A and B are shown apart, each in its own frame.
Chain A
Amino acid sequence: MPLELIKEKWSNKIDVVTIGATKAEGGTRSKAIKVGGETGLPYLLEESEMPHKPVIAMEIFDVAPDDWPDTLKDPYGEVLNNPLEWAMKCENEFKADLLTIRLSGIHPDAQNRSEEDTVKLINEITAKVKLPLIILGCGDDAKDNLILPRCAEITKGERCLIGDAVQKNYKTIVAACLAYGHSIIAESPIDINIAKQLNILISEMGLPQERIVINPTVGALGYGMEYAYSIMERARIAAFGGDKMLSQPFICFVGQEAWRAKEAKAKISEFPEWGNEKERGILWEAVTASAFLQAGADILIMRHPKAIEIVKKHIEELIKN
């Protein structure tokens, strides 16, 4: 009797979201990147398709980060103090797929950077860097609602991904994405019901579901990774089963979480039994990232160039036919 394998056939698939617009599409990006479109659980290519492979976005900040360990700062060197040069290095030297600009410095408790300074920075980056862009606020609702719409306006037609919209603060950002042709990141606190609810609220304002990506809020390896892992698996199973309001690609803020972990940051002198800090930090970020790939991540936001290189290579291996 021939062996009968069990192949899952699902009724629904993940939406395809496009980030970046080329000249022909009304923008100035060197390429447009598509994510999503999966018809089944990750990398089971015998039973489902993954038309667009997961991508990695490198992350730069408008002000130099003050909590990065040396092992993470070293590959960047001086450019950490110059966001424009930093962005150019990501494009030219590290060959990033996409660029994430995180506006941490606009937070009132941080440098409280102004609208003018931010507009100037985004204009410079848009002119000099041709990667598709992800633009992130600082988490302070009032400041984000002031500055993100301006960022959306000056990048009109570039088809950026803008975030994060949260349940208590989404309207202004959705309106800006609608007005200037961008897509949105919808963030929920490791909660499948809130993720769905927020997608419904955003859709009700008229933003098509092909312009939403889900940020399920992830934890680092060893720091709650498994909660997000299971939430993502549950959401995907619901999506493939037919739930259109959970059928959006996932974005995972891996670098931000992994580099907070003690295991990624601590010097070997503090924990000699943990081994070399350089390789340890890189692996902490890379393993966090690859775990979420297995849960269905479509966009990974990462920091260490070596970790990014490793995960990129691993993605090629995962989609090899």
Chain B
Amino acid sequence: MAFSGLDIYKLLPKTNCRKCGFPTCLAFAMQLAKKAVSVEKCPEITAAAKAALEASAQPPIKLITVGEGEQKLEIGNENVLFRHEEKFFHPAGVGIIINDAASDEEIKNRVEHVNKLSFERIGQQISVNLIAVRQAGSDKARFEAVVKKVAELTKLGIVLISADAASLKAAAAHIAKRKPIIHAANKENYQELAAAAKELSLPLVVKADTLEELSELIPAVNSAGANDLILQTGDKPVNKKIWDLTQIRRMPLKKNNRVFGYPSLTVIKSNDTYEQVIEACDYILKYTGIVLLEGFEAYQILPILTLRQNIYTDPQKPLQVEPKAYPIGQVNENSPVLITTNFSLSYYTVLGEVEASKIPAFLISVDTEGMSVLTAWAAEKFTPDKINESIKKFGIPEKVKHKNIVIPGYVAVMSGDLEEKSGYRIIVGPREAAGIPSFLKNIQKAG
């Protein structure tokens, strides 16, 4: 929570000495609140007041970086509890757990499979972010060897999971430049792990059964030198977990509680095909910064990544594509011309169906400011005038020699008006994109 000008004024010497260049301490405080000057300009400020001011300038939830290069994952630094209040900023990391007890062959296959868990949806690539290597027994050498091997096989971020501090330290040292997460510091081992995390500059998971225990452990870990933390509470029913996650989000945002000012992590216990997916989705909806699960099948991961994409979309700014005439396939002057909006979901849904039909076509995305067909129509952003203008602006008269235009079935009512305005014959297409392949085949047959 940022301080107001008056809050800051209370912390200043109130001597109006003018050494900062402002006539009064209050004037200086107002400039500080606007972040227009640095607190360094005040030579008289006490160390305690300076520390308080610097702390207030930090985001309430710290941004934590995991991994490096293209696969770098950033979590935390969130501002709201509900996405409609602003947006959720840093999409939760999704990671797959691999056991070090599996055979080398299995581990290799699994890592290569996880590397490919990446899908294109509405013009964005959605992917798994992390591989978590979990030590099954207490064989330190085995854990180190598997971690090294996994690091070679993947560019994804890595989480090191073990109950043994020595194994964690050794493995972390091998791959420190990959910025792995150390999982996890508890009340027994935190001194040792916090020191290691500090030395190697790595993020550290701090784990305790309850929020109360966490509230004591986090400052202890901070004092031991580790400040890039990720918080986790113990295993419990889903609703209790959601309560913990909600509190870890609420306390820094609503009460300026800095102890809990870090992102959170959840590990799915269930290995049921379906249950673990639902549970992972619940935690993504309810604020987890990272979720780790054992399931790795595409049919399990696709819904999880899709849900994450949905929930981290900016509610004020729908995903849009550039308004223009897109040629789909090997188009020529006889290819059909279809109209849709520039709302990504509309555009990509139609695009997928046109591609599936294998019939080359021009697809015009009209600038509806990212609204879908019906919404844009109701808001008068998808009108006969607008569509006519797009047809001409995007050069359809030069691109095709026929005079036919296909409009979405939901806006059939505008056919007459659009026909008059554009001089094109208007063909009403299907309401749902799924009907496009058979529709295109029919109009092709009809010639």
Contacts and interface: CB of A to CB of B under 8 A. Distances in A.
Contacts of A280: 298-299, 302-303
Contact of A3 (B119, B215, B299): B215
Contacts, number: 135
B119, B215, B285, B302: residue with the most chain A Cβ atoms closer than 10 Å: B302
Contacts of A314: 238, 275, 278-279
B345 interface: yes
Interface residues of A, number: 49
A287 B212 CA distance: 32
Interface in B248-307: 250-251, 254-255, 273-275, 277-279, 281-282, 285-286, 297-300, 302-304, 306-307
A226 B239 contact: no
B297 A276 contact: yes
B273 A287 contact: no
A82 to B, nearest CB: 27
Interface string B299-339: 11011101101110101000000000000000000000000
B243 interface: yes
A279 B239 CA distance: 25
Contact of A320 (B121, B239, B282, B300): B239
Interface in A220-263: 221-227, 229-230, 233-234, 237, 260, 262-263
Nearest to A270: B356
A214 to B, nearest CB: 17
A274 B278 contact: no
A290 B278 contact: yes
B31 interface: no
A276 B303 CA distance: 13
Given A46-B243, A224-B345, A226-B315, A275 B286 contact: no
B282 A286 contact: no
A283 B239 contact: no
Contacts of B352: 262
A283 B303 contact: yes
A127 interface: no
B274 A229 contact: no
Given A6-B254, A275-B302, A317-B239, A223 B345 contact: yes
B281 A291 contact: yes
Contacts of B282: 290, 294
Contacts of A318: 238-239
A221 B239 contact: no
A226 B277 contact: no
B281 A229 contact: no
B278 A229 contact: no
B212 A43 contact: no
- Interface residues of chain A: helix, strand, loop or mixed (majority): helix
Given A6-B255, A43-B242, A230-B84, A279 B297 contact: yes
Given A6-B250, A6-B251, A226-B313, A294 B285 contact: yes
A225 B93 CA distance: 20
A294 B306 CA distance: 16
Contact of B273 (A234, A279, A291, A319): A279
Interface string A276-310: 11011011101100110010000000000010001
A226 B310 contact: yes
A275 B310 contact: no
B315 A6 contact: no
B310 A221 contact: yes
A249 B321 CA distance: 37
B254 A275 contact: no
Contacts of A279: 273-274, 297, 299-300
B278 A287 contact: yes
Contact of A43 (B239, B255, B309, B313): B239
Given A225-B307, A320-B237, A260 B275 contact: no
Nearest to A227: B315
A222 B239 contact: no
A279 B352 CA distance: 22
Nearest to B246: A44
Nearest to A284: B303
A275 B299 contact: yes
Interface in B339-387: 345, 349, 352, 372, 374
A93 interface: no
B198 to A, nearest CB: 25
Nearest to B353: A262
A110 interface: no
A237 B302 CA distance: 31
A32 B237 CA distance: 29
Interface string B67-104: 00000000000000011100000000000000000000
Contacts of B286: 294
Nearest to B343: A224
Contact of A226 (B119, B274, B311): B311
Contacts of A168: none
A133 B298 CA distance: 37
B432 interface: yes
Given A221-B307, A226-B310, A283 B285 contact: no
Given A222-B310, A287-B277, A314-B275, A5 B211 contact: yes
A287 B82 CA distance: 19
Contact of B239 (A5, A291, A319): A319
Given A222-B310, A279-B274, 12 more contacts: A43-B238, A224-B372, A229-B83, A230-B83, A274-B299, A286-B277, A286-B278, A287-B307, A291-B281, A291-B285, A310-B274, A320-B238
21 contacts: A2-B212, A6-B251, A44-B239, A221-B310, A222-B306, A224-B372, A263-B302, A274-B298, A274-B299, A275-B299, A276-B299, A279-B274, A283-B274, A286-B278, A291-B281, A310-B274, A313-B275, A314-B238, A314-B278, A318-B239, A319-B239
Interface of A: 2-6, 43-46, 189, 221-227, 229-230, 233-234, 237, 260, 262-263, 273-277, 279-280, 282-284, 286-287, 290-291, 294, 306, 310-311, 313-314, 317-320
Which 5 pairs from chain A and chain B are nearest by CB?
A275-B298, A275-B299, A280-B299, A226-B310, A43-B239
Interface of B: 82-84, 116, 119, 121, 211-212, 215, 237-239, 242-243, 246-247, 250-251, 254-255, 273-275, 277-279, 281-282, 285-286, 297-300, 302-304, 306-307, 309-311, 313, 315, 345, 349, 352, 372, 374, 432, 434
